[in-house]
Amino acid sequence: MSAPAIATSNLSKRFGKRMAVNRLDLEVPEGEIFGFLGPNGSGKTTTIRLLLSLIRPSEGNAHLFGQSIRKEYPRYLHQVGALADEADFYLNLSALANLKLLARLHKGVDEARCLEVLRLAGLEERAHDRVKTYSHGMCQRLGIAQAILHRPHLLILDEPTTGLDPQGMHEVRLMIRRFANEEGMTIFLSSHLLNEVEQICTSMAVLSEGKLLVSGPVQQFLSAETATLTELQANPIGSARTALERLPFVSQVEEKNGRLQFRVDHQHRPEVAQALIEQDVEIYSLTPVSRLEDYFLSLFGSPDTGGELP
Amino acid sequence: MTVMWRLFVNEIIKVFSKWRTYIGFGAIGVGVILAMWGFSIGGSSIQRDLLRRLGDEFITTGNLANGMWASYLLMNTLFIHIPFLITLVAGDVVAGEGTAGTFRIYLTRPVSRTRVLTSKLLAAATYSAALVAWLGILSLGLGNWWLGTGDVFLVDEQGILVLPWDLALTRFALAYLFAFYTMFTVAALTFLFSVMVTNAIGPIVGAMAIIIVSGLLTIIQLDAFAWFQKHLLTTHFVLWQYAFRDPIPWDLVLDSTINLGVHSTAFVALAFLLFKRKDVLT
């Protein structure tokens, strides 16, 4: 059995009195698109910097494909490509010159490969332009291009869609899926965008105040049993709403696009249906809405944040 | 190509892609041209003044205020100006990457920090050498072309020294070599500060502050300062001037070389120690 792409044991980082990462035990199997979630300041970026040896652990260790970040630095970085935080480059150089600069740090990466990754990132036509003339979205795409330059087995991305418009986000997510599916890379994706993780990740972990809260397959957290948000399509909608608002175990009833959304625990759903029928409401559908956001609300107990973690 | 060579090429590309790198070359270029122009206009009056000071003791023929002599005078600016120009680049070579956030893409490669820092030190040293070489080539080349050439006639507190043209060229080469060695110490000091912070302004100001204070302590001749003056960095900035004494005081050259070498080694060793342990947070 091959070693996991990432395995941390007791990994900790202390800045003064504050524990940014606190005894983190995490395992990312090879081939996964792994979502690394947590609110701002939860220790996601610090963990990534530890994995990349940009900072030194205070305690514990991590192994990437079985290689210790403490003992086998910098050799283990052969297998790792990363976009740690925002994509920053040598602004006075062109995109191609930036990539050639980085290519010199790897064996067997030539100019043809630099052009190939620029093409993958959709930047081929601007390859000779100085990076200082690039938009934020182009820089992010170039950031991903530099990360895959040497064909790594593990791609670590720290909030790669931050600051991008919806089109840019979509393009970056497509790129990530393509790398995972076509090139077999393991992707470690840090994000505070729940819908992003929901859309593209196969497994995930949640970090809070430097500690691991939960870890497992995304589907596990999306299962109907854990969802409380429920959507109702019924007629007449006014009577349905009145009936729902009378039920003590139903809360937050809202009308959206001709449908009703409300919160109710899994075990009370039959009673909801019964109450609606008793009020002569015709039910077309009564569906639990499985969303990570919903799961997060149960974890952090925070109000709706529009798909972003608090 | 070895890894070290590739890293060095990278650093040279980075250094010479920034406009601040050319400030030093531009400043020296403008300074030398203006100085040579000034000498070409006022050279005869300078020569008359020199001859008056020599009185009846010497019979001189030809042009004393020639390009070689002008180049020697320009070298005297080294003490004040060149260190500042060195710090502009040496202060940025590490801290600049912190400011720009580029360490995040550069240090996440399978190359050790020791090698990366070595390549940066070599780039800073190369820039220092290039700046001194530029001063030498420009002042000697332009001076000899514009003001004419000949023997060098030097008057200072040591007395009068006349260096034949061919010997003077050798002495200039030696002086520029000594000047580079001295400027490398300045570069090493700034480099150390550059490793400590993530903004290039701090290392530049810090290094200049140390050089200014140290320079003051060197110049002020007080008994209270005597015990440490010998060990001050700036005390040995005069190393290049030893090349224009006859005979060359090799004991003083050795003393300054050792002192500057100890400074450089300490600065560089500390820089490597700190950089290996540095947390990249920008």
CA atoms within 13 A on the CB side of B166: 0
DSSP states of B84-138: HHHHHHHTHHHHHHHHHTTHHHHTTSSS-HHHHHHHHHHHHHHHHHHHHHHHHHH
Average pLDDT, chain B: 89
- The whole-number pLDDT of residue B262 equals 96
Distance CA B147, CA B64 (A): 10
* Eight-state DSSP code of residue B227: H
Number of Cβ within a 10 Å radius of residue A120: 17
End-to-end CA distance of chain A: 39
Q: Which amino acid is at B268?
A: V
| CATH class, A6-222 region | alpha beta
Contacts of B18 in chain A (CB under 8 A): 92
- Find which of B14, B16, B105, B198 to mutate to test the A interface (most A CBs within 10 Å of its CB): B105
Per mean pLDDT, which range of A110-114, A292-296, B112-116 is the poorest?
A292-296
Number of Cβ within a 10 Å radius of residue B53: 10
Q: What is the pLDDT of residues A162-186, one digit of tens each?
A: 878 888 888 888 888 888 888 889 9
- The whole-number pLDDT of residue A306 equals 42
Q: What is the pLDDT of residues B197-213, one digit of tens each?
A: 988 899 999 999 999 99
Number of Cβ within a 10 Å radius of residue A296: 20
Q: What angle do CA A167, A170, A175 make, to 5 degrees?
A: 130
Q: Which of B100, B105, B112 sits opposite A102 (nearest CB)?
A: B105
Strands A186-191 and A33-37: parallel
- The whole-number pLDDT of residue A1 equals 59
Distance CA B110, CA B120 (A): 17
- The whole-number pLDDT of residue B227 equals 83
At a CB cut-off of 8 Å and minimum separation 6, what does A290 contact? A222, A223, A224, A226, A227
Mean pLDDT along residues A104-129:
92
Q: Which of B19, B102, B108 sits opposite A52 (nearest CB)?
A: B108
Distance CA A244, CA A250 (A): 7
Q: B-side interface with A, Cβ within 8 Å?
A: 1, 3, 6-7, 9-10, 13-14, 17-19, 100-113, 277, 279-281
* Eight-state DSSP code of residue A193: B
Chain B residue with Cα closest to A155: B108
Residue B47, pLDDT > 90, answer no
Q: What is the pLDDT of residues B248-280, one digit of tens each?
A: 999 999 999 999 999 999 999 999 999 999 988
Number of Cβ within a 10 Å radius of residue A38: 24
Q: What is the pLDDT of residues A75-97, one digit of tens each?
A: 999 999 999 888 899 999 999 99
Q: Which of B1, B102, B279 sits opposite A90 (nearest CB)?
A: B102
Mean pLDDT along residues A99-121:
92
Strands A259-263 and A251-256: antiparallel
- The whole-number pLDDT of residue A301 equals 60
Q: Has domain A228-300 been given CATH number 1.10.10.10?
A: no
Q: Is B13 exposed, middle or buried (0-12, 13-18, 19+ CB in 10 A)?
A: middle
- The whole-number pLDDT of residue A84 equals 87
Give SS3 for A63.
Answer: strand
- The whole-number pLDDT of residue B58 equals 66
Q: Which of B7, B14, B104 sits opposite A54 (nearest CB)?
A: B104
Q: Which of A56, A88, A101 sits opposite B13 (nearest CB)?
A: A101
In 3D space, the residue among A296, A275, A293 whose CA is nearest the CA of residue A232 turns out to be A275
Structure tokens at A9: 């044991």
Contacts of A87 in chain B (CB under 8 A): 105
Residue labelled with tokens 């620029």: A118
- The whole-number pLDDT of residue A234 equals 92
At a CB cut-off of 8 Å and minimum separation 6, what does B70 contact? B35, B36, B39, B43, B139, B143, B147
Cβ contact A105–B6 (<8 Å): yes
Contacts of A85 in chain B (CB under 8 A): 101, 104
Inter-chain Cβ pairs, chain A and chain B, closer than 8 A: 83
Q: Please, which pLDDT band fits residue B59 given cuts at 50, 70 and 90?
A: low
A94: β partners: A130
Contacts of B2 in chain A (CB under 8 A): none
Structure tokens at A26: 């995490």
Cβ contact B111–A105 (<8 Å): yes
Cβ contact B110–A106 (<8 Å): yes
Residue labelled with tokens 């809405």: A289
At a CB cut-off of 8 Å and minimum separation 6, what does B209 contact? none
- The whole-number pLDDT of residue B78 equals 62
- Find which of A50, A54, A85 to mutate to test the B interface (most B CBs within 10 Å of its CB): A54
Cis peptide before B203 (omega within 30 of 0): no
Q: A-side interface with B, Cβ within 8 Å?
A: 49, 52-56, 73-78, 80, 82, 84-93, 97, 101-102, 104-106, 143, 146
Q: What is the pLDDT of residues A287-299, one digit of tens each?
A: 877 677 777 766 7
Distance CA A130, CA A115 (A): 15
Strands A203-208 and A211-217: antiparallel
Q: Where in chain A are the domains? A: 6-222, 228-300
Cβ contact A89–B107 (<8 Å): no
Element (H, E) at B51: helix B21-54
Cβ contact B279–A56 (<8 Å): yes
What is the Cα A4 distance to its own chain's centre? 19
- The whole-number pLDDT of residue B51 equals 67
Q: Is A173 exposed, middle or buried (0-12, 13-18, 19+ CB in 10 A)?
A: middle
Q: What is the pLDDT of residues A117-163, one digit of tens each?
A: 999 888 999 999 999 999 988 898 899 899 999 999 999 999 888 87
Distance CA B252, CA B230 (A): 11
Asked if A90 and A98 count as a contact pair (C-beta separation under 8 A), the reply is yes
**How close, in Å, is residue A295 to chain B by CA atoms?**
32
Mean pLDDT along residues A221-241:
80
Cβ contact B17–A93 (<8 Å): yes
ipTM higher than 0.90? no
Asked if A222 and A292 count as a contact pair (C-beta separation under 8 A), the reply is yes
Residue B105, pLDDT > 80, answer yes
- The whole-number pLDDT of residue A303 equals 46
**How close, in Å, is residue B176 to chain A by CA atoms?**
32
What is the Cα B213 distance to its own chain's centre? 18
Q: Which amino acid is at A7?
A: A
Distance CA A20, CA B76 (A): 54
Residue B176, pLDDT > 90, answer yes
Mean pLDDT along residues B194-199:
91
A12: β partners: A59
Chain B residue with Cα closest to A75: B110
Distance CA B3, CA A104 (A): 8
Distance CA A232, CA B70 (A): 93
- The whole-number pLDDT of residue A305 equals 44
